[in-house]
């Protein structure tokens, strides 16, 4: 551990790895869905949870890539249980198909990790007609969570084990429009700025987690919902960066993304906070919080706006029920 890093409440730091934050934790009997598990942080998360005995369902857009990752993990850890299933979060039809196919497996669901995402894409629309980053990062995951929520509640009731919903956001949520979510301008191409749109989608992730946590707590469900900023690793999330942003914007954004994140064992570091929130006993009963470096962190004032969270919830419900 770095000697100059001050002690954190959890005992973990920006230099803690995913394996460290889950050491001594056994997930045998648990089932987790991880979206975007065929690359980057999603792959590392899948590997570490599988290492701890969790039955991992990799929800991926590219099934062949997912199977290649599965084979690599199984080769390293032969006893793991991993399934690969197709999921395209930019399509509500694909999300609904995934939920039906998962339900047909008759598996429990203890952990849902909404990890997948796109960053700073050129302006385009999802298959359902929404700006791609908002449609994929927020709406796709909002629908997926809604469709799987009863399964998670049922699993927690039958098992007595707390269900955990983990929604990956980003420190990039701080870099967005002054009014937060521009409900009436989401699809306005003339006003589109890729990184502000990304920030808007990541702000929506935190607002979703917070409002979901409030509702679950209100009904007494044994399921928590939290959001987090993961560590940064250079994955295909950044596949659009060279063509659409210049060095000045990188300098503006990267301090938000990189602050407090060491390059030591970078791939495993990236998944540490996700694995901590998903599995560590210290997080039991904690809900509606934003995590960074495996510790609770204060997000932007917009992310803490309860009225904005409720408005986004109603707006999103109208979309998925249309």
pLDDT surpasses 50 at 25? yes
Compute the average pLDDT of residues 182-203. Answer: 97
- Write b or e for each residue in 98-127: b if 16 or more Cβ atoms lie within 10 A of its Cβ, otherwise e: bbeebeeeeebbbbbbbbbbbbbbebeebb
**CA–CA distance, 27 with 39 (Å, rounded to integer):** 22
Residue 3 has pLDDT above 80, yes or no: no
Q: pLDDT class for 231, splitting at 50, 70, 90?
A: confident
pLDDT greater than 90 at residue 258: no
Rounded to two decimals, the pTM is: 0.90
Alpha helical stretches, state H, 77-127? 92-104
* Contact residues for 282 (Cβ-Cβ < 8 A; gap 6+): 10, 276
Mean pLDDT in residue range 230-248: 48
Contacts of residue 101, Cβ cutoff 8 Å, sequence gap at least 6: 85
Mean per-residue pLDDT of the chain: 90
Segment 113-134, tens digit of pLDDT? 999 999 999 999 999 999 999 9
Residue 7 has what pLDDT?
Answer: 52
The domain locations on the chain are 25-316
Percent pLDDT > 90 in the chain is 83
**Residue 242 banded pLDDT, cuts 50, 70, 90:** very low
Quote the DSSP letter at residue 65. Answer: H
Which residues make beta-bridge pairs with 85?
59
- Rounded CA-CA distance 16/282 in Å is 15
How large is the C-alpha radius of gyration of the chain? 18
Please write the tens of the pLDDT for every residue from 96-116: 999 999 999 999 999 999 999
**Span 181-204, average pLDDT:** 97
- Torsion, CA 12, CA 285, CA 95, CA 68, rounded to 10: 40
278-316 pLDDT, tens digit each: 999 999 999 999 999 999 999 999 999 999 999 999 999
Q: What is the pLDDT of residue 148?
A: 98
- Give the confidence band of 237 by pLDDT, cuts at 50, 70, 90: very low
Give the pLDDT score at 15: 87
Residue 269 pLDDT grade (very low, low, confident, very high; cuts 50, 70, 90): confident
Question: What does the pLDDT average to over 158-184?
Answer: 96
Give tens-digit pLDDT for 67-81.
999 999 999 999 999
Q: Which residues are catalytic?
A: 192
Q: Report residue 280 as tokens.
A: 């560590």
pLDDT digits (tens, 9 = 90+) for 31-80: 999 999 999 999 999 999 999 999 999 999 999 999 999 999 999 999 99
Sequence-distant (≥ 6) Cβ neighbours of residue 109 within 8 angstroms: 31, 32, 33, 102, 148, 151, 152, 155, 163
Q: Which fold has domain 25-316?
A: Rossmann fold (3.40.50)
Assign 233 a pLDDT band (cuts: 50, 70, 90).
low
């Amino acid at each position: 551990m770095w000697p100059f890093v001050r002690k954190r409440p959890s005992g973990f730091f920006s230099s803690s790895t995913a394996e460290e934050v889950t050491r001594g934790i056994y997930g045998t009997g648990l089932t987790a869905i991880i979206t975007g598990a065929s690359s980057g942080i999603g792959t590392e998360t899948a590997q570490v949870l599988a290492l701890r005995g969790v039955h991992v369902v990799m929800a991926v857009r590219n099934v062949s890539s997912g199977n290649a990752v599965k084979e690599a993990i199984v080769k390293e850890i032969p006893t793991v249980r991993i399934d690969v299933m197709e999921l395209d979060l930019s399509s509500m039809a694909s999300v609904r198909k995934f939920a039906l196919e998962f339900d047909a497996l008759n598996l429990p669901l203890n952990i849902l990790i909404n990890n997948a995402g796109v960053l700073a894409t050129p302006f385009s629309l999802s298959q359902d007609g929404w700006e791609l980053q908002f449609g994929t990062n927020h709406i796709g995951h909002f629908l997926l969570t809604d469709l799987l929520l009863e399964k998670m509640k049922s699993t927690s009731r039958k098992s007595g084990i707390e269900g955990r919903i983990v929604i990956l956001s980003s420190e990039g949520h701080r870099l967005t429009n002054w009014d937060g979510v521009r409900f009436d301008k989401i699809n306005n191409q003339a006003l589109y700025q890729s990184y502000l749109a990304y920030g808007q989608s990541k702000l929506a992730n935190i607002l979703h987690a917070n409002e979901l946590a409030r509702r679950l707590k209100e009904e007494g469900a044994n399921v928590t919902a939290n959001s987090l900023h993961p560590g940064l690793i250079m994955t295909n999330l950044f596949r659009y960066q060279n063509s659409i942003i210049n060095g000045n914007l990188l300098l503006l954004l990267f301090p938000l993304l990189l602050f407090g994140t060491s390059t030591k064992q970078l791939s495993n570091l990236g998944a540490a906070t996700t694995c901590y929130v998903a599995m560590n006993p210290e997080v039991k009963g904690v809900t509606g919080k934003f995590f960074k470096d495996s510790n609770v962190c204060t997000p932007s004032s917009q992310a803490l706006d309860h009225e904005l969270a409720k408005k986004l919830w109603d707006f999103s419900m109208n979309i998925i029920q249309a």
